[in-house]
A and B are shown apart, each in its own frame.
Chain A
Amino acid sequence: MSKPSLTHLCLIVVAAGTVASAQDLDKAKLDQARSVIAEAALLETAAARGRVTQTYAQALRDTLREDLQKLARSPQFAATAHAALTALDRHDAAALAGLRDRLVARERSHGRAD
């Protein structure tokens, strides 16, 4: 087997860096998806208990909807984001909490420490 050339070594380093940054990106996206959906669940719970005004709830829903629509563009999170959007439109806190818990489990499998 021939000795690896400098070009080979550079390619290996670049590939490793790309894989690492892709993993970081996935983890950051996963964190973001979990937090947005958790926020939506908390909002819908508070709204159902009459703890927030309608204007506040609507404004926060709009922001969360935008965040979820951005997430839906990523193939990895499209299904979850669409499910969360549907639950948000139905003000379904339980469904949102279920989606959040699934993402938390995924994060834990990726080594998240609580």
Chain B
Amino acid sequence: MAGLIEIVLGIMTAVGGFVDVSELTFAAQAGSRFGYSLLWVFALATVGIIVFGEMSGRVAAIAKQPVFCLMRQRLGVSLGLFTLIASIVVSLITCAAEIGGVAIVLKLMAGGAYLIWAALSVAALIVIVWVLPFEWIERLFGLLGLLMLAFAAATVALHPPWREVARGLVPQFPMHLPGGDRLAYGYFAVAITSAVLFPYETYFYSSGAIEDRWTPSKLPVNRLTTGVGFSLGSLLSMGILISAAVLFRPVHVDPREPATVALQVAVPFGRPGLLIALFGMLMAFSGAAVETCLAAAYSLAQFFGWPWGRYRKPAETPRFTLAWIAGFVIALALVLTNVPPLDLVEWSIVFSIVVLPLTYLPLLLIANDRKYMGRYVNGWVANGLGVAFYAIVVVAAVGAIPLYILTSGGQK
């Protein structure tokens, strides 16, 4: 019974923590701009995060190695250091984007000034991470983030044309669009891939497995959490895209802010629905802010071999503790410069995909190494999928920055 509860909680936490500010805004913009035709990218990228998420959890449980320890071993110090710096920069920009999202939602719920809400929310998040044990941090935001399911309910209530939706799941490239729009389609495809496969997710997931002291007995939980939890989370993101295609596309709205996306729930369910959606967004973005900030601190501590982990008291891990607090402060400083939150989201998306190949390569190598993994080494399915998705990620990484520049972040 306890095992079943653990599995259900793990899946629910994965669902509630799946959507963050980047996925929300990019899914809504993709639906508004290109209808259902980018759904297949979500489906494909979800298989990718399931494959690499499962691999990172398995490596953590068997080899007892989180991603950044592997990176230093496999990539060497120079390339490892480059990846470390790039990952930290990306995690902090992403954290700033999430904090911006939290502040926007608080302003929508209670009024007041955006920057004051940003500062207050960072103070609250620091207290929460300091006080709560790791398991509760995960569950608090993951379970309350399930209120985002209001978006899934809204999708059903908006009665989308399901046959057209199903057609969107078939891989396609809209050759009928003018050149500029085709480039923008490519940019959105790369951005969605990046938003689903964010590198911080594997850093956080594998470090979390070590925080929770996973052993081989946890491998079924790992498989179900990644397989079922990430799939359901992705369905939620797809629901946001579908609702945007139904609600925003006919009236020519390109939803560039979480505030606008919340209308997807307000239109069918009115004020109660709106408040539930806003609270769900608050929890989902807060959870992602905590994950990105901790991911940056985990990376730093693991790379330099410092004691780390929220299962230890802060006094036992002074450099790690200082790192995550500094992470929050730096992310807040970025928000306080008044950079538009959507710019932060776009930068985090573009630079994340550039870092991804360096994140996934050592993981793929270790998961294939019988010396570390013993009988839990990658099977042919995991290996085939791992190599295929690695190739996709490399192509997306190469195309990301040129597409961002050519389309001005998808705006052309």
Contacts and interface: CB of A to CB of B under 8 A. Distances in A.
Interface of A: 24, 27-28, 31-32, 34-35, 38-39, 41-43, 46, 50-53, 55-56, 58-60, 63, 97, 100, 104, 111, 113
A53 B252 contact: no
B374 interface: no
Shortest beta-carbon contacts, A-B, top 8: A35-B254, A38-B252, A38-B253, A51-B266, A59-B108, A56-B108, A51-B270, A28-B411
Contacts of A42: 248, 251, 253, 260, 263
Interface in B130-176: 176
Q: Could you tell me the dominant secondary structure of chain A's interface residues? A: helix
Contacts of A41: 251
A53 B257 CA distance: 17
Contacts of B262: 56
Interface of B: 107-111, 176-178, 180-181, 248, 251-257, 259-260, 262-263, 266-267, 270-271, 274-275, 278, 408, 411-412
Given A46-B266, A56-B262, A59-B108, A35 B274 contact: no
A24 B257 contact: no
B266 A52 contact: yes
A39 B108 contact: no
Contacts of A38: 251-253
B178 A100 contact: no
Contacts of A34: 252
Nearest to A27: B412
6 contacts: A32-B411, A35-B252, A56-B262, A58-B111, A97-B251, A113-B176
A50 B270 contact: yes
B251 A60 contact: no
Nearest to B106: A59
B271 A50 contact: yes
Given A38-B253, A59-B259, A113-B176, 15 more contacts: A24-B412, A31-B411, A32-B411, A35-B252, A43-B263, A46-B263, A46-B266, A50-B271, A51-B271, A52-B271, A53-B274, A55-B108, A56-B259, A63-B257, A63-B259
Contacts of B257: 63
Contacts of A97: 251
A42 B396 CA distance: 35
B412 A56 contact: no
A55 B111 contact: yes
A56 B274 contact: yes
Contacts of A59: 107-108, 111, 259
B8 to A, nearest CB: 33
Contacts of B275: 53
Contacts of B178: 111, 113
A104 B270 contact: no
Given A42-B263, A60-B108, A52 B274 contact: yes
Contacts of A56: 108-109, 259, 262, 266, 274, 278
A74 B50 CA distance: 47
A55 B252 contact: no
B362 to A, nearest CB: 40
Nearest to B107: A59
Contacts of A60: 108, 259-260
